[in-house]
Each structure stands twice: as structure tokens, then as C-alpha cells.
Amino acid sequence: MKVVIIGGGFAGVNLSLALAKDRRFEITLVDKNNYNFFPPLIYQVATGFLEPSSISYPFRKLYRGKENVYYRLGELLEINPLENKVILSNGELSYDCLVIATGAETSFFGMENVKKNAIAMKTLDDAIEMRNKLLQQMEKASISDDEEDIRKRLTVVIAGGGPTGVELSGMFAEMRNGILRKEYPELVGKGSEIYLVDGGDALLSPMSLQSQKDTYDDLRKLGVRIRLKTRVTDFKDDAVVLSNGDTIKTKTLIWAAGVNARKFAGLPEESYGRANRMVADAFNKVNGTENVYAIGDTSLLLSDPAFPFGHPQVAQVAIQQGRNLAENLKALADGREQKPFIYKDKGSMAIIGRMKAVVDLPKPKVHFQGVIAWLAWLFIHLISLITYRNRVRTLYNWMIAYFTKDQSLRMIIKPTEKKIL
């Protein structure tokens, strides 16, 4: 059976690895990048606490020695379900089974100025762009004589009070209170501010009330200015415009406020639901298709009794769906009954700063914070990295950062893009 997987994130990689030793399947994984990366830690790349290679790994090296798994660099443009083939940016592929695992992309809710001027936080490219921009702003601020210009360059606004927004805010606050004072003494007291803006009533809205309160309190203690029940509506002329009419003067808006899945030509409209996610049955098969499946963030599965409106777009859902689909494809090949997907919620967590984190466990319902939660966050994220090499490199960098309260990865790297002939 020819299985084509579009997307090499948590869902696609776990599906491919689960099928890798079964010679009945010929698997081709297609991704626009030549590497898998770990999205929960891209903010640490963006702030210079991890290097990109700590959280990424080349697909060809990952699949080395797996004779029934192939990798192809490319991007999906169109699906032709009648002919069982996909049109890629660099050719075509035929399939017996197609799996869409393309994840989600940043949604700017139609705000063109925000899209053009803000920094998204979804990819390694975004993280490197953010690191470059933040470092450049500090360098420019260090030689400026204009107090207002300095404040705008040192002020950061983060839109979105989910885990990414919270973790970025905490990291920036600790950098301002530590690294900035050591390396840019001329900028101390020049008006560096960090704003966290969210349209909801609380930060980390899916987590427990206690986690929300602890997070709010800890960020306030770090000096983060939190604006709840407030949305960003525009970003132009070095000013972030808020829904309550206020403006914040800044040159840096980081967008962590929303995502959409991608639509692809060739599938019927009935295949798509809220936020362009593909509506799937209990076995992840896409509505209106015979042999097209969707897993991970792009999948909207409504049959799970505990999640009647769809699963959260988090790593554990993608991992479990990838592995469950692998077992179901094997069951189809064997003529056995398939197993419907039921998500096993393992809890939620977010890191706020050095030795500050919150963790919620579902069964039994337990909340804890502080050092224990911080250590739990470090351990879970460490073992979730795809290879031992990634784990060792990340652990080393974390140990250096912990004992020195510093990191040496703050380089401005601006590659010149040249056309590949």
C-alpha cells in the first residue's frame, strides 16, 4: 500500500515511524522543510537560549535505514481524489492512502497591517527572524539619542495569552531583568516594557483557575504589563492599536493569538469545518473522501465523547492520532476491525520563568506550581524531543543557562537568499 503523508510534524512523524517496519506499506513523507522541529520550544530559539539544531532533526537522517520510508521536499498544492494523486510544488505523487498532517498556520484575522508588520511564532524561520529583530532593536537603541525612539525599540507587545504568549513574556522579563542589565548597561532605565495582550478573561484559558491566577501573579511580579479583555486591532506607524482605543508605541509586535488550518484544492467543501480544519470521522477519515485521512492540528474529529467540539491543537493529540492511525491502517491491511480515536488527556503545563511553572493533571485533578512544576515541564519537554541527540544538546544548553543565568547564542544571522539552479 502506498501511503503519502503530507506534513512532518508530531502527527506525520509518529505515523511514519509506527509504519516503518511493516513492509506492506511504502511510505513517502512530504514536507516543505527538510527537517522535523519541536514547536513548543521555538520561543527559546527566538530568545537565544537554544540553537535551532537543538530542537530540529533532518528527515533523511531520521529515516536512514528504514527501507520502506522515503522523504520528499515539497509543498502540497492540490489533491486529485479521483486519480489518487497529489500535485506538489515540484511534481506529482500517486497514493493508495493519503494522510494530511499539515498542522496549522498563523491567522491574523484579516488584519493586513498586523500580518505585514508583526512577527509570527509558528516556525523556526519565525524564531530566527524574531531573534534577529530583537537583537537589532537593542543594538540600534544603544546608539540612539532619542528617548522616545529608544522606548519604542525596547518595548515588546505580545498578542495572545496562551502558552506561547505566557512563556515568551516570562522569558523576555527575565532577560530584561538580567541579560539587558549586564550587556546593555547604557539602556538600563530607558523604558523597556513588556505587554501581554489577550481578548479573554484570563491567561491560559484552557487550564485551571488556579493555574490562571498563579500565572497572572508570577508575570506581574516579573514586571509584565497584562491587558485582558483587550484585542490588538492594528499595528502601524510604530504603534499597536488596542480594541479599547489605547495605543502602545513599539516597533515589535509578536503574534501568538490564533491559528487556522490550510485548505487544499480538490477536496469538497463538506470536508472542511471550523478554522479550515478537515472534518473527520472516528477513524480520522476526511468527510466526503474514501482514502484521505487528517491527523493533528488540521483534523477536526467530533466523535470523541469528551471533546464534542474537536480536540485541542496540542502535541499529544497529534502524537496519539498518528499512532492510532498507524494501527488502523495495519488493521485494514489485515482485515481486522479499526479502533476509533479516543484522546487520553495527560494534562497541561506552561513555564513562566526560572523555577516558575504551572501544571494541571486531569486524573486525579491536581494542580501544582513552582519548582516541582518547573522540573516537570523541563522533563516532559526533554523526553518529547525526537532524538537522543536533541535531548543531550537541549539539556546542556539548559544547564548552562540555569547555572550562569545567561546564554551565548545571541547572534544576528542574516543569510543571503540566492536562487538554487
Cβ count within 10 A of residue 171: 22
At residue 421, the pLDDT reads 46
pLDDT in tens, the chain (421 residues): 999 999 999 999 999 999 998 999 999 999 999 999 999 899 888 888 888 888 999 999 999 999 999 999 999 999 999 999 999 999 999 999 999 999 999 999 999 999 999 999 888 988 888 888 988 998 999 999 999 999 999 999 999 999 999 999 998 998 888 878 888 889 888 878 999 999 999 999 989 999 999 999 999 999 999 999 999 999 999 999 999 999 999 999 999 998 999 999 999 999 999 999 999 999 999 999 999 999 999 999 999 999 999 999 999 999 999 999 999 999 999 999 999 999 999 899 999 988 899 999 988 789 989 999 989 988 998 888 888 888 888 888 888 777 666 665 666 766 555 554 4
CATH superfamily of domain region 2-32+74-104+261-334: FAD/NAD(P)-binding domain (3.50.50.60)
What does the alpha-carbon distance between residue 31 and residue 131 come to, in Å, rounded to a whole number? 24
What is the DSSP track for 54-112? GSEEEHHHHTTT-TTEEEEE--EEEEETTTTEEEETTEEEE-SEEEE----EE--TT-H
Grid cell digits, residue 21: 517496519
Amino acid sitting at position 149: D
For residue 397, what pLDDT is reported?
A: 81
| Catalytic residue numbers, as ranges | 167
Question: Domain residue spans in the chain?
Answer: 2-32+74-104+261-334, 112-258
Order of strands across the sheet that contains 194-197: 119-120, 252-255, 156-159, 194-197, 225-227
Per-residue exposure over 120-149, b if at least 16 CB sit within 10 Å of its own CB, e if not: bbbbbebbbbbbbbbeebbeebbebeeeee
State the CATH class of domain 112-258: alpha beta
Q: What pLDDT, on a 0 to 100 scale, did the predictor assign at position 185?
A: 87
Helix (H) or strand (E) holding 235: strand 232-236
In the beta sheet, which residues pair with residue 242? 232
Same fold, 2-32+74-104+261-334 and 112-258: yes
